Amino acid sequence: MTAPLTPPPRVVVIGAGIVGCSLADELTARGWTDVTVLDQGPLPAPGGSTSHAPGLVFRTSPSKTLSDFAGYTIEKFRSLEVDGLPCFNPVGGLELATTEERWAELHRRAGYAASWGIRGELVSAERCKELWPLLDARKVLGGFHTPDDGLARAVLACRAQMARAEERGARFLGRHTVTGIERDGGRVTAVVTDRGTFPADHVVSAAGFWGPVIGRMAGVDVPLLPLAHQYARTGPLPELEGVNDPRTEASRPILRFQDRDLYFREHTDRIGIGSYAHRPLPVDPFTVPVYDEAPVMPSSYPFTPEDFAPSWEDCRWLLPALADGDIEHGFNGVFSFTPDGMPVLGESRALRGFWLAEAVWVTHSAGVARAVAEWMVDGRPATDVHGCDLTRFEDAQRSPAYVAERAAQQFVEVYDVLHPLQPMERPRPLRVSPFHARQQELGAYFLEGGGWERPHWYEANAPLAEELELPERDAWSARHWSPIAAAEARATREKVALYDMTPLRRLEVTGPGALAYLQRMTTNNLAKKPGAVTYTLLLDESGGVRSDLTVARLAPDRFQIGANSRADEDWLLRHTPDDVRIRDITSGTCCIGVWGPLARDLVQPLTRDDFSHQGFGYFRARETYLGHVPVTAMRLSYVGELGWELYTSADLGLRLWDTLWEAGQELGVVAAGRSAFNSLRLEKGYRSWGHDMTAEHTPYEAGLGFAVRMDKGDFRGRAALERAGEPRRRLTALLLDDPAAVVLGKEPVFLDGASAGYVTSASYGYTLGRCVAYAWLPPLAAGTQVHVEYIGEKVPATVAEEPLFDPQMHRIRR
């Protein structure tokens, strides 16, 4: 081996729990061997959450990212051993249903498993009893069995990874308490401890639920709340005598009884029981006792038997063998919850070189560590991590009050049956558009996203729905849905509708270098005269789609970007040269989409400007006035109809709404919500970033090659695209064959009876009279028959030619 030309960067990892240890292993495996892992407690069990984790690893999740993380943890820990003891015991997993609602949910979970490539099978109550003989099978309707899940031995896995990392040069130092982070010019330079200062080019906070404490030292918000969670062990059970090898402790599947917020595992002849059934027990991370003063260890609080009492009854109801037994030992163990239940990963932009790897379960630890190591070493993780990116939180989502309320709610809902559209109940309303009062008057049904109240349909349109004939929906797909959405979609296709587009993220990019900069950052050609709007993509270095944007050139040196998430702003800001300024103008402005064949009839009388097809072309922008309101008008439409996005400042928003509303009365204007919006955009084949495509996909795979101009000069991701071969998978449009069938997203798609991909987003297409589902599949010819599995039912579907609606663009370009 030749020595590297430059020494590897100096990395200091704070925390030697499962995340810190896994990260040291992954970094050193990639040649970053100058790694120092510091922990305040003694090694190898310094007293964090890892030190007492019972280690259940269930891989199935609605989140593909989490499922991939867990898959890698299983694969990796299976290959690790310490003193002949394996770090993973693949006893399998078993989730039980004792209610019809849960049984349906297990069918959906079996669907996620098939979508993400996890082995799993729905099984009868008898089979559950075979797998777990202590069960009272009469209580059970059935189960979901995942044979590859099992038990991680977290402390052992720490030791194994420590040893490997140490062989490659890493250091692990226990009894070093971090007290400060040093910085210079927006970069970290060192970590200060009670036993000296450690210079560093990169610092990773893997401090578990102490994350907010380390975050404060660095001036970085770490939006997590530590909560205690009860874990108890029974005494020895005669039924388990001689059943399990004490070295591996368990032979039967890890068990989940989500109907009562409980899980179980074997500890040789005892049973361990975890409960989420109790009240949230928040812990202030700033007041956690230090190792030497903690009664057991810092992450272990005294057991509160009164909180466990109802759960104990539930345990005995399910497992009659416990009737004579007792709890021998219990504790309230602390770990991290975030406002959306996802980890918090990534590098702070304000303090470069300072990384977070927080709020990570043992289950996801190795996968997270691999992703963060790739991110640090290669500049990008191979897995889509946008749902974990620390930049995902809006300003209003980082207040301690918000974090506390949402995280506690995550705890309460951890095992609940949650509909994909189900909103959090509190704190609401948080962000409202200037039209909120009018929307309320119209009976808006609000759901929440990014802190925004977003109308999904308006009860005021109910009379329009009466004449429609729509197929019956099953109870699940009928939740957070209304036939009114169909009426609103129809009004958009036949007349004209107003859509609140305020939550659409808007950035203003200005300065002499703005054009050259945006040309380098995106795929399409933006060198057009002011007044042009361009649909374009942000790619990472590997050619993965980081986002899709609209860029309006409003003046030679001024651009307005329509973006998807906060991560777009973050990404752009990370690469901004000195002669370019980027400002998020979302909050101070608002937007209404006026779309439908009568949009021009509505808008033209309000302005002296020429809004004809010749006077105001498709994908053009203009600053003008509508009535009393100064607006930026852009002629484009995510719903595939004639019309404009109209932007103005927040103070004038209500006036803009009222102006359009009044002008539209004689045309039959309606307010329309996101439910119709999503249906219309899917009929038109417009992708939704984060759902349909992510950084895991290239533009060609996602069907977005039309937005890439290889001949315009260099841009980020171009070199990777040049190397890209023929796509092996494609984002594919499906139409469900049965006009009454619906799917919602994330369902598995089967080709010739074998799982071949998964649905990204789906909606009933009211114009087409069929449900539209986009799916990742191997390249397939139009007309190919597949089936989607929806709550255990095989739903036939056919690969369709795109776009499904108005391929000649007659409706938009006129």
Q: Which residue is nearest to ligand THG (CB)?
A: 562
Contact pattern from residue 382 through residue 401 relative to ligand THG, giving x for each residue in contact according to CB under 6 A and a dash for the rest: --------------------
Asked if 517 contacts 576 with a C-beta cutoff of 8 angstroms, the reply is yes
Q: Could you confirm whether 231 is annotated as catalytic?
A: no
Asked if 535 is part of the footprint of ligand THG (rule: CB under 6 A), the reply reads yes
Stretch that binds ligand FAD, among 15-23, 130-138, 403-411, 442-450 (CB under 6 A): 15-23
Q: Considering only residues 645 through 664, tell me which ones interact with ligand THG, judged by CB under 6 A.
A: 645
Stretch that binds ligand THG, among 403-411, 602-610, 632-640, 762-770 (CB under 6 A): 632-640
**Pick from 508, 485, 434: nearest CA to 674:** 485
- Selecting among 259, 314, 389, 548, the annotated active-site residue is 548
Q: Where are the alpha helices (DSSP H) in 548-594?
A: 566-574
Cβ closest to ligand FAD, residue 237 vs residue 368: 368
Asked if 16 contacts 177 with a C-beta cutoff of 8 angstroms, the reply is no
Tell me the three state secondary structure of residue 603: helix
Q: Which of 361, 458, 517, 774 binds ligand FAD (CB under 6 A)?
A: 361
Q: Is 529 exposed, middle or buried (0-12, 13-18, 19+ CB in 10 A)?
A: exposed
Q: End-to-end CA distance of the chain, in Å?
A: 66
Binding-site partner at residue 548 among ligand FAD, ligand THG, none, CB < 5 to 8 Å by type: ligand THG
Q: Could you confirm whether 149 is annotated as catalytic?
A: no
For residues 283 and 758, give the distance between their C-alpha atoms in angstroms, rounded to a whole number: 39
Q: Could you confirm whether 787 is annotated as catalytic?
A: no
Asked if 776 is part of the footprint of ligand FAD (rule: CB under 6 A), the reply reads no
Asked if 582 contacts 572 with a C-beta cutoff of 8 angstroms, the reply is yes
Asked if 636 is part of the footprint of ligand THG (rule: CB under 6 A), the reply reads yes
Asked if 525 is part of the footprint of ligand THG (rule: CB under 6 A), the reply reads no
- Selecting among 107, 229, 278, 364, the annotated active-site residue is 229
Asked if 365 contacts 73 with a C-beta cutoff of 8 angstroms, the reply is yes
Asked if 645 contacts 582 with a C-beta cutoff of 8 angstroms, the reply is no
Asked if 548 is part of the footprint of ligand THG (rule: CB under 6 A), the reply reads yes
**Pick from 512, 516, 523, 518: nearest CA to 548:** 523
- Selecting among 231, 263, 499, 517, the annotated active-site residue is 263
Signed CA dihedral, 309, 313, 315, 320: sign only:
positive
Binding-site partner at residue 504 among ligand THG, ligand FAD, none, CB < 5 to 8 Å by type: ligand THG
The number of beta carbons lying within 10 Å of the beta carbon of residue 149 is 27
Q: Please, which residues have CB within 8 angstroms of residue 292's CB and are 6 or more apart in sequence?
A: none
Closest CB 144 distance from ligand FAD, rounded Å? 17
Asked if 215 is part of the footprint of ligand FAD (rule: CB under 6 A), the reply reads no
Q: CA-CA-CA-CA torsion for 475, 476, 480, 485, nearest 10 degrees?
A: -70
Stretch that binds ligand FAD, among 203-211, 313-321, 506-514, 761-769 (CB under 6 A): 203-211
What is 426-448 written as a DSSP string? Answer: SS-S-B--TTHHHHHHTTEEEEE
Cβ closest to ligand FAD, residue 231 vs residue 750: 231
Closest CB 175 distance from ligand FAD, rounded Å? 9
Pairing of strands 171-173, 150-152: unpaired
Cβ closest to ligand THG, residue 686 vs residue 700: 686
Tell me the three state secondary structure of residue 240: helix
For residues 141 and 124, give the distance between their C-alpha atoms in angstroms, rounded to a whole number: 7
Q: Considering only residues 585 through 624, tell me which ones interact with ligand THG, judged by CB under 6 A.
A: 619
Stretch that binds ligand FAD, among 318-326, 357-365, 393-401, 420-428 (CB under 6 A): 357-365
Q: Where are the alpha helices (DSSP H) in 191-283?
A: 211-218
Cβ closest to ligand THG, residue 564 vs residue 755: 564
Q: Which of 300, 363, 550, 767 binds ligand THG (CB under 6 A)?
A: 550
Closest CB 365 distance from ligand FAD, rounded Å? 6
Measured in degrees and rounded to the nearest 5, phi and psi for residue 569 equal -60, -45
Binding-site partner at residue 743 among ligand FAD, ligand THG, none, CB < 5 to 8 Å by type: none
Q: Which of 39, 266, 696, 701 binds ligand FAD (CB under 6 A)?
A: 39
Q: Tokens 């009114």 map to which residue?
A: 484
Signed CA dihedral, 649, 652, 658, 660: sign only:
negative
Closest CB 404 distance from ligand THG, rounded Å? 32
Binding-site partner at residue 399 among ligand FAD, ligand THG, none, CB < 5 to 8 Å by type: none
Cβ closest to ligand FAD, residue 206 vs residue 561: 206
Binding-site partner at residue 760 among ligand FAD, ligand THG, none, CB < 5 to 8 Å by type: none
Q: Please, which residues have CB within 8 angstroms of residue 128's CB and are 6 or more apart in sequence?
A: 94, 96, 135, 137, 140, 142, 143, 145
* Amino acid, res. 209: F
Asked if 503 is part of the footprint of ligand FAD (rule: CB under 6 A), the reply reads no
Cβ closest to ligand FAD, residue 98 vs residue 365: 365
Asked if 775 is part of the footprint of ligand FAD (rule: CB under 6 A), the reply reads no
Residues binding ligand FAD (CB under 6 A): 14-20, 38-41, 46-50, 53-56, 177-178, 206-210, 229, 231, 274, 299, 333-335, 360-363
Interface with ligand THG (CB under 6 A): 504, 535, 548-550, 562-564, 619, 634, 636, 638, 645, 686, 707
List the catalytic residues. 229, 263, 548
